[in-house]
């Protein structure tokens, strides 16, 4: 919501909290067949993309999310060559994936092409790798695309989704995860953003259950800061068809590209489980693969 004093506020009703950014002006607004998209210029966070009233990204801090959704999984899989990104229309995750020279192909499946076109205009730094010949864009329903994906074709699936409602709701279900597991090779890994570990534990519990029912045998949460999201603290779930291998720390340390946040220490730190979460995590992991 944009008020008369030029502050954009996202309300998190379930947590009784809100987050605001001061706005210089609205740059763009439209309703697509799927959602309402607005782009603002802020006073201190650069450009801001808002979808259906919820903050998606800002110029200032999106590197935290994009790096932590990408590099931990790619430095954990032993040989990530074939990658699929479901969602991620702003192309920041795609850019980070394509920094890895060993990646041979990436297909980005985004239901709303307008997200990408607006990112190209207002967040061009995120789209600088869009012309990479390894990248393929498919503007269609990611759930249907995954249903039709050839078995065992992918090494890594990155689900860069909106919250579990509207167009993103079906990306948090056991049936979707079963299709992902089928599309992954034997060492395949999936990572998906999983909301705030402080405010949305019910969503995380539901994801663990659904991943287990979908055929994944191991899950590990990743924790990282994200100032513009509710609570300022975010998470992703790393899931494997088999056990999750240890990450390739030497390769991460010798990565041939710059990062602003990710490094071997932040990778290790992201895997550290807070005390209040440890017991719940043990219970959730005990049920994996039992569906």
- Catalytic site positions: 160
CA distance 287 to 218: 10
Find, among 159, 205, 160, 204, the residue nearest to 179 by Cα: 159
Residue 268 CB partners (closer than 8 Å, separation 6+): none
Residue 98 CB partners (closer than 8 Å, separation 6+): 106, 129, 132, 134, 135
CA distance 235 to 74: 17
Q: Where are the alpha helices (DSSP H) in the chain?
A: 62-74, 92-97, 113-122, 142-148, 174-183, 201-213, 249-253, 264-271, 275-286
For helices 264-271 and 62-74, what crossing angle results, to 10°?
90
CA distance 187 to 77: 7
In the chain, what is the straight-line distance between the N-terminal and C-terminal CA atoms, in Å?
41
N residues, the chain: 291
Q: In angstroms, how far is CA 201 from the centroid of its own chain?
A: 17
Find, among 160, 169, 158, 176, the residue nearest to 215 by Cα: 176
Q: Is 248 helix (H, G, I), strand (E, B) or coil?
A: coil
């Amino acid at each position: 919501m944009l008020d008369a004093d030029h502050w954009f506020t996202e309300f998190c009703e379930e947590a009784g909290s809100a987050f605001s950014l001061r706005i210089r002006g609205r740059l763009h607004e439209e309703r697509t067949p799927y959602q309402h998209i607005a782009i603002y210029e802020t006073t201190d966070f650069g450009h801001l993309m808002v979808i259906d009233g919820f903050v998606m990204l800002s110029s200032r801090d999106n590197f935290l999310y994009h790096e932590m959704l990408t590099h931990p999984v790619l430095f954990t899989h032993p040989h990530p060559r074939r990658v699929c990104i479901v969602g991620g229309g702003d192309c920041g995750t795609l850019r980070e994936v394509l920094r890895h020279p060993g990646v041979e192909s990436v297909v980005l499946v985004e239901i709303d092409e307008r997200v990408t076109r607006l990112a190209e205009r207002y967040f061009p730094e995120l789209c600088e790798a869009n012309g990479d010949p390894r990248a393929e864009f498919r503007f269609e329903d990611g759930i249907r695309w995954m249903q039709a994906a050839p078995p065992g074709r992918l090494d890594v699936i990155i689900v860069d989704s909106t919250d579990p409602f509207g167009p993103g709701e079906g990306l948090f279900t056991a049936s979707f995860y079963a299709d992902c597991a089928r599309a992954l090779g034997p060492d395949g890994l999936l990572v998906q953003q999983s909301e705030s570990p402080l405010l949305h534990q019910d969503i995380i519990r539901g994801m663990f259950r659904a991943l287990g029912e979908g055929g994944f045998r191991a899950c590990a949460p990743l924790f990282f800061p994200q100032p513009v999201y509710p609570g300022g603290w975010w998470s992703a779930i790393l899931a494997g068809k088999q056990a999750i291998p240890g990450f390739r720390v030497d390769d991460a340390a010798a990565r041939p590209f710059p990062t602003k946040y990710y490094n071997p220490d932040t990778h290790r730190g992201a895997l550290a489980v807070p005390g209040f979460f440890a017991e719940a995590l043990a219970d959730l992991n005990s049920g994996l693969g039992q569906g």
